[in-house]
Chain A
Amino acid sequence: MSPVSEMLCRRRLASAESAAAHTLADLRPGQRATITCYGSEVEASTSRRLFDLGLVPGTEVQMVRRAPLGDPAIFRVGDYEIALRRSQSAGIHVETIR
């Protein structure tokens, strides 16, 4: 492993201590929410990647649409759109914006 990736691998990200009221997976199309933290069940490498993808705590996310077959769903994160499966979106805790 290279020094840079070793350093990046040591990054610690906030994870929830208790079950969340809401996750990204609960959002309906058009609904907005702010990311609070990652679920404690989420692998550390996964949460680091979600972070690098811009799914950063404090960021506003909008659910855009679900695939016709029910999964995955497209989310608008700041300036771009990303498709996530329920297995990932359910690990991202949010506070919905009314």
Chain B
Amino acid sequence: MTDGCHGGSGPTTTADSGLTRFALVGSPNSGKTTLFNALTGLHAKTGNYPGVTVSKFEGRTRLDGGRSVLVEDLPGTYSLDPISPDEQIVVDILDASGDADRPDAMLVLLNATTLRRSLGLLAQVAQTGLPICVVVTFADDLARRNGRLDMAAFSRALGVPVVAVAAGQRDGVAELRRLMAGHRSWSRPVVPPPTDAAEVPAWADSVLSASDYQLPEADERTRRIDAVLLHPVLGTIVFLLVMFTFFQTIFTVAAPLQDYVETFFGWLGELVAEHVHLGWLSAFLSEAVIGGIGGVLVFVPQIVLLFVLIAVLEGTGYLARAAFLMDRVMARAGLEGRAFVALLSSYACAIPGIMATRSLPSARDRLATMMGAPLMTCSARLPVYILLVSLLFAGEARIGPFNARGVVMFALYFFGAVAAMLAAAVFKKFTSRGGPMLPFYMEMPPYQVPRLKSVVAEVWTAAAAFLRKVTTIILATTVVLWVLLNLPLRDDATVAAAGVDTTDNSAVSAYVLNNSYAASIGRAMEPVFEPLGFDWRINIGVLSSLAARETFVATLGQVAAAEDPEDPGAALAAMRVDDRPLFDVPTITALLVFFMFALQCMSTVGVLRRETGTWRWPLIAFSYMFVLAWTMAFIARTVVSAFG
């Protein structure tokens, strides 16, 4: 066995490089991701292609006889004549002779309902010389729309094995696994298909007529739905309703789930406090570790809901319609409808949003979208907003018929999007200096009922990525901050010498916090943030939120818990600076506005660095957003103060 050329695998496991590799090749909307999930289940590894940072999806699947093989889901492409980084990846992988990572065989997905166009891509990938097995997808759709394709004749006409898979049916996938096991004996075309522009259409016609192909009728169901959803008036109303429902769902459905998580971690913290008797260790475990994890996990319900909604919108085909409706608006910012999808993803998190810009063929569009994306209201801002808005309005407060908190939230989301668009427009203007215009085109897939398995896989990937981030960056930050907030350790004698009653726990806590390392840093930052009404305690939160915005809540929780561990929420409201409440209306407003604009997220900076390949753009993004955030917060505070 040729094992061990890539380090990391022990002698008992086979290195991945030793396994047979199959590449999934196909255009967008060819059902590639669905097939990939059907083959690999939830065991897919996500990573990045070296050099460029196009996401790489790879997973193992077990064939008949127990042999494991690797399946790689290549980015969707319409052509091997690349115009975007994603497409370049496909070419590089399929056409890299002698590369160890070159696949051993290709599974080329052809959507039965767009067969004529798909044959062009098949002709191109056949030039790479790799063995091909054609997987015909959406054959059930073809039949429903009165189309016809003789699979056996199609296989003969192409000279390669053909298997049809239908959504939700295992037969096709089982047959595919059988074929994959015998990939060494796949038949190859006697004469490779042509790629010359003059010959391809005739070749495709001859293949299709030999296969008794009947073009599917226009999808009546899609036509009827589009008549409503793309209608000038109705379509716009539906679009706005869909987006509004999107956010209402996230807030109303997630709330009870979040309560459960909060209750659980509260119980866990008490349990630890009860059983660990060493004072500082008990506090460290229950406040820093459990409090830190719980304070972030509490938002998992919201993130899961958000990704369920995005996966459903994508799975039904509505996301393409939304991009179609929004294209003209995005064009105002110099972008295209698909940038809307990247910006919408940024509502969940700027990181997937920034990564989603890879589907944009124009490098300038990608850069402009990336510079705007962090201004979208990501889910990490949610905890900050929820905390601050709850300090601003009582739960039952109303603006007109609507819940006041909900209205402010909607406004924050809305203006975040406006700011992102404006920023993208400005950057597009600055970076557009000549260069060829890349074409805009977007396939409009027929409407479908989304596959549960695909939705689950998508949500799983997103939630898992978020949790990985939690356990690394956020937990580390919470722990470091706990240390900064609680050290240096003071013994009773020191505290008593400072004139503090050592039997009064909250007085001791306040003394420790007031003399902690964090307090020194927070005080040093005061000249910068004083005009916004922030005191050193808020500054600690702002500083800590650089690791991830949601840490702001955990930190303020710690600051508050240090003063009154029984009720951190009330403690925050009761905190005072000089003779006014620390969290008065102008300060809360300034904080909200500051978090709306500031790039308080080192993970985003890291992704920007990776995506643009230089430190220049993340530095520009961080600086412009800080200046913008400070200025806007100052203006907001001044205005709110003036109106009392």
Name A's B-contacting residues (CB within 8 A). 1-5, 7-9, 11-13, 43, 45-46, 48-54, 56, 58-59, 64-65, 67-72, 74, 76-85, 87-88
Bound together, the chains give a CA A68 to CA B325 distance in angstroms of 7
Known pairs A49-B441, A52-B117, A67-B230; list 20 more (Cβ under 8 Å).
A2-B80, A7-B195, A8-B81, A43-B437, A46-B436, A52-B79, A52-B81, A52-B121, A56-B200, A68-B236, A78-B116, A79-B113, A79-B117, A79-B216, A82-B441, A82-B443, A83-B442, A83-B443, A84-B440, A88-B441
Q: B230 contacts A53, CB within 8 Å?
A: no
Partner pick for A49 among B81, B113, B444, CB 8 A cutoff:
B81
Q: B201 contacts A56, CB within 8 Å?
A: yes
Shortest beta-carbon distance, A4 to chain B, in Å?
5
The 3 A-B pairs at the shortest CB distance, nearest first, are namely A2-B95, A69-B328, A54-B117
By beta carbon, the residue of chain A nearest B231 is: A68
Q: B197 contacts A78, CB within 8 Å?
A: no
Which chain A residues lie closer than 8 Å to B197 at the CB level? Answer: 11-13, 48, 51
Q: B328 contacts A8, CB within 8 Å?
A: no
Which chain B residues lie closer than 8 Å to A67 at the CB level? Answer: 230, 324-325, 327-328
Bound together, the chains give a CA A85 to CA B440 distance in angstroms of 6
Which chain B residues lie closer than 8 Å to A5 at the CB level? Answer: 80-82, 91, 95
Q: In chain B between 207 and 265, which residues have their CB closer than 8 angstroms to a CB of chain A?
A: 215-216, 218, 226, 230-233, 235-236
Contacts A4-B80, A71-B328: A43 and B436 contacting too (C-beta < 8 A)?
yes
Which chain B residues lie closer than 8 Å to A80 at the CB level? Answer: 113-114, 117, 443-444
Shortest beta-carbon distance, A41 to chain B, in Å?
11
Q: B78 contacts A8, CB within 8 Å?
A: no
Once A and B bind, how many residue pairs between them come within 8 Å at the CB atom?
Answer: 148
Which chain B residues lie closer than 8 Å to A46 at the CB level? Answer: 436-439
Contacts A45-B436, A49-B81, A51-B197: A4 and B124 contacting too (C-beta < 8 A)?
yes
Q: B235, B324, B337 — which one has the most chain A CB atoms within 10 A of its CB? A: B324
Contacts A45-B436, A85-B440: A65 and B128 contacting too (C-beta < 8 A)?
no
Range, interface on chain B:
35 or more
Which chain B residues lie closer than 8 Å to A3 at the CB level? Answer: 95
Which chain A residues lie closer than 8 Å to B602 at the CB level? Answer: none
Bound together, the chains give a CA A3 to CA B195 distance in angstroms of 13
Bound together, the chains give a CA A68 to CA B96 distance in angstroms of 45
B494 adjacent to chain A (CB < 8 Å): no
B115 adjacent to chain A (CB < 8 Å): yes
Partner pick for A83 among B82, B95, B444, CB 8 A cutoff:
B444
Q: A49 contacts B117, CB within 8 Å?
A: no
Q: A83 contacts B327, CB within 8 Å?
A: yes
By beta carbon, the residue of chain B nearest A68 is: B232
Bound together, the chains give a CA A59 to CA B205 distance in angstroms of 12
Which chain B residues lie closer than 8 Å to A7 at the CB level? Answer: 127, 195
Which chain B residues lie closer than 8 Å to A64 at the CB level? Answer: 226
Contacts A5-B82, A12-B197: A79 and B440 contacting too (C-beta < 8 A)?
no
B196 adjacent to chain A (CB < 8 Å): yes
B331 adjacent to chain A (CB < 8 Å): yes
Bound together, the chains give a CA A52 to CA B443 distance in angstroms of 13
Bound together, the chains give a CA A80 to CA B145 distance in angstroms of 12
Q: A11 contacts B196, CB within 8 Å?
A: yes
Bound together, the chains give a CA A48 to CA B441 distance in angstroms of 13
Encode B74-105 as 1/0 by CB contact (under 8 A) with A: 00001111110000000110111000000000
By beta carbon, the residue of chain A nearest B436 is: A43
By beta carbon, the residue of chain B nearest A76 is: B218
Bound together, the chains give a CA A67 to CA B197 distance in angstroms of 31
Which chain B residues lie closer than 8 Å to A13 at the CB level? Answer: 197
Which chain A residues lie closer than 8 Å to B443 at the CB level? Answer: 80-83
Bound together, the chains give a CA A84 to CA B39 distance in angstroms of 34
User: Can you sample 20 A-B contacts with CB below 8 Å?
Assistant: A2-B94, A5-B80, A7-B127, A8-B79, A8-B81, A9-B81, A48-B79, A49-B441, A50-B439, A52-B79, A52-B121, A52-B124, A77-B117, A78-B215, A79-B115, A79-B116, A81-B444, A83-B442, A84-B440, A88-B439
Which chain B residues lie closer than 8 Å to A9 at the CB level? Answer: 81
Which chain B residues lie closer than 8 Å to A69 at the CB level? Answer: 325, 327-329
Which chain B residues lie closer than 8 Å to A72 at the CB level? Answer: 324, 327-328, 337, 440, 442
Bound together, the chains give a CA A81 to CA B78 distance in angstroms of 14
Q: B440 contacts A8, CB within 8 Å?
A: no
By beta carbon, the residue of chain B nearest A56 is: B201
Shortest beta-carbon distance, B296 to chain A, in Å?
40
B120 adjacent to chain A (CB < 8 Å): yes
Q: B216 contacts A8, CB within 8 Å?
A: no
Q: In chain B between 438 and 457, which residues have their CB closer than 8 angstroms to a CB of chain A?
A: 438-444
Partner pick for A8 among B113, B114, B124, B331, CB 8 A cutoff:
B124
Which chain B residues lie closer than 8 Å to A11 at the CB level? Answer: 81, 195-197
Bound together, the chains give a CA A34 to CA B330 distance in angstroms of 30
Bound together, the chains give a CA A72 to CA B79 distance in angstroms of 22
Q: In chain B between 113 and 147, which residues have their CB closer than 8 angstroms to a CB of chain A?
A: 113-117, 120-121, 124, 127-128
Q: B215 contacts A79, CB within 8 Å?
A: yes
By beta carbon, the residue of chain B nearest A84 is: B441
Bound together, the chains give a CA A9 to CA B124 distance in angstroms of 12
Shortest beta-carbon distance, B381 to chain A, in Å?
29
Which chain B residues lie closer than 8 Å to A56 at the CB level? Answer: 200-201
Which chain A residues lie closer than 8 Å to B233 at the CB level? Answer: 68
Contacts A2-B95, A11-B197, A53-B78: A65 and B230 contacting too (C-beta < 8 A)?
yes
By beta carbon, the residue of chain B nearest A46 is: B439
Q: A79 contacts B114, CB within 8 Å?
A: yes
Which chain A residues lie closer than 8 Å to B95 at the CB level? Answer: 2-5
Which chain A residues lie closer than 8 Å to B128 at the CB level? Answer: 4
Q: A83 contacts B324, CB within 8 Å?
A: yes
Contacts A52-B120, A67-B325, A71-B328: A4 and B78 contacting too (C-beta < 8 A)?
no
Shortest beta-carbon distance, A6 to chain B, in Å?
9
Bound together, the chains give a CA A51 to CA B82 distance in angstroms of 13
Encode B318-336 as 1/0 by CB contact (under 8 A) with A: 0000001101110100001
By beta carbon, the residue of chain B nearest A91 is: B439
Q: In chain B between 344 and 380, which residues have their CB closer than 8 angstroms to a CB of chain A?
A: none
Bound together, the chains give a CA A80 to CA B327 distance in angstroms of 20
Which chain A residues lie closer than 8 Å to B195 at the CB level? Answer: 7-8, 11
By beta carbon, the residue of chain A nearest B234 is: A68
Which chain A residues lie closer than 8 Å to B216 at the CB level? Answer: 79
Q: B115, B117, B235 — which one has the most chain A CB atoms within 10 A of its CB? A: B117
Which chain A residues lie closer than 8 Å to B127 at the CB level? Answer: 4, 7
By beta carbon, the residue of chain A nearest B125 is: A4
Bound together, the chains give a CA A13 to CA B436 distance in angstroms of 18
Bound together, the chains give a CA A78 to CA B217 distance in angstroms of 10
